[in-house]
């Protein structure tokens, strides 16, 4: 039994309707010819704030009881969740406080502030982050929204695959990247309900393959040092996401680091989509033939498009 139900995803969808975008589904005859399947790319790079994270953040903010809403939300994040929570809070008219390591990318700090959040810096270490968040919560009465292990966040992330299935019908296989596990966990719960026979494969970069190793070992591996170009996938699994993945997933594919940027470049070049390396991790197994999809209908979640344009490859 998992902590996220189909009902929660179904309700999330109604709750975030009009707050998040219904993102387009794109196809490429070149990619279809290359891999022999029919591939449907769910383009969360076009989501508000540039990634799927907006879905979960918007759902979590919308579900807050009114007393908590008034005080505001906080989260530690130096990545896409920071912007997603900042915008979700802004749209709900409530304060957001984001804790970022002092060595964060200045562009991401500015973007987060641009959505109206207050940014608090901390030393770039796990303990410093936790204590800064704890202090803020105590002082301001903020509600912590965990970027990938909050159940409302996971439910929100499950809405992307619902839209894809609604639009394109039955699928044989679904591919999504695995970082902290929020996207793949939400996708699993939704897909198992909507398409009981679909195969769902999580895609993990070789330089942060903790999910594959955690499943193998039967317990979460938390003590590892990620070394991957896919900066959105460096986080270990959460307690809730691990439980859901463990129960529902068919397979984790570990994607060689050297295939990630070529896959990203291919998608930019041929599909004209700006995607970030984490998104390319879910497309790479098709392009490098790690997974055989001949004759299959395949859904791929392109998770986001926030990447440095100056020197992308």
The catalytic residues are 53, 78
Query: Binding-site residue total for a copy of itself (CB under 8 A)?
Result: 21
DSSP of 247-258: HH-SEEEEEPGG
Query: Interface with a copy of itself includes 309 (CB under 8 A)?
Result: yes
Q: State the first-to-last Cα distance of the chain, in angstroms, to the nearest integer.
A: 42
User: Between 46 and 242, whose beta carbon lies closer to a copy of itself?
Assistant: 46
Which residues from 252-281 bind a copy of itself, rule CB under 8 A? Answer: 265, 268-269, 271-275
- Write out the binding residues for a copy of itself, residues 7-26 only, by CB under 8 A: 24, 26
The residue (of 92 and 128) whose beta carbon lies closer to a copy of itself is 92
Rounded CA-CA distance 72/96 in Å is: 6
CB-based contact 248:219 (threshold 8 Å): no
Residue 310 interacts with a copy of itself (CB under 8 A)?
Answer: yes
> Which residue of 40, 41, 46, 242 would you call a contact of a copy of itself, by CB under 8 A?
46
CB within 8 A of 32, min separation 6: which ones?
38, 39
User: Is 69 within 8 Å of 92 (Cβ atoms)?
Assistant: yes
Please say whether the dihedral angle defined by the alpha carbons of residues 50, 52, 58 and 61, taken in this order, is positive or negative. Answer: negative
For the CB of residue 142, give the shortest distance to a copy of itself in the complex, in Å: 27
Q: Would you count residue 81 as binding a copy of itself (CB under 8 A)?
A: no
Torsion of CA 157, 158, 161, 162, to 10 degrees: -130
What minimum distance in Å lies between the beta carbon of 158 and a copy of itself? 22
Q: Which residues bind a copy of itself (CB under 8 A)?
A: 24, 26, 29, 43, 45-46, 48, 50, 265, 268-269, 271-275, 305, 309-310, 312-313
């Amino acid at each position: 039994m998992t902590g996220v139900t189909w009902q929660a995803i179904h309700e999330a969808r109604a709750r975030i309707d009009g707050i998040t975008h219904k993102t387009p589904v794109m196809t490429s005859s070149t990619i279809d010819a290359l891999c022999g399947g029919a591939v449907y790319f769910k383009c969360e790079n076009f989501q508000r704030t540039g990634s799927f994270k907006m879905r979960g953040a918007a759902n979590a903010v919308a579900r807050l009881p009114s007393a908590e809403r008034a005080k505001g939300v906080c989260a530690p994040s130096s990545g896409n969740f920071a912007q997603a929570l900042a915008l979700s809070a802004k749209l709900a008219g409530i304060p957001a406080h984001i804790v970022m390591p002092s060595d964060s990318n200045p562009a991401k700090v500015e973007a987060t502030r641009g959505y109206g959040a207050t940014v608090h810096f901390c030393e770039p270490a796990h303990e410093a982050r936790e204590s800064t968040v704890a202090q803020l919560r105590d002082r301001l009465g903020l509600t912590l929204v965990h970027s990938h292990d909050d159940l409302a966040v996971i439910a929100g992330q499950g809405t992307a695959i619902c839209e894809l299935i609604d639009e394109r019908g039955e699928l044989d296989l679904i591919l999504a990247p695995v970082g902290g596990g929020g996207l793949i966990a939400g996708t699993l719960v939704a897909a198992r309900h909507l398409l009981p026979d679909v195969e769902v494969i999580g895609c993990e970069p070789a330089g942060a393959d903790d999910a594959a190793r955690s499943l193998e070992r039967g317990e979460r591996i938390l003590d590892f040092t990620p070394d991957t170009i896919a900066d959105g996938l460096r986080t270990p699994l959460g307690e809730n996401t691990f439980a859901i993945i463990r129960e529902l997933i068919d397979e984790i594919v570990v994607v060689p680091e050297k295939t990630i940027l070529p896959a990203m470049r291919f998608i930019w070049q041929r599909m004209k989509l700006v995607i970030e390396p984490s998104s390319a991790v879910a497309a790479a197994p098709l392009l490098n033939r790690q997974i055989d999809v001949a004759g299959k209908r395949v859904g791929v979640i392109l998770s986001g498009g926030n990447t440095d344009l100056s020197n992308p490859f």
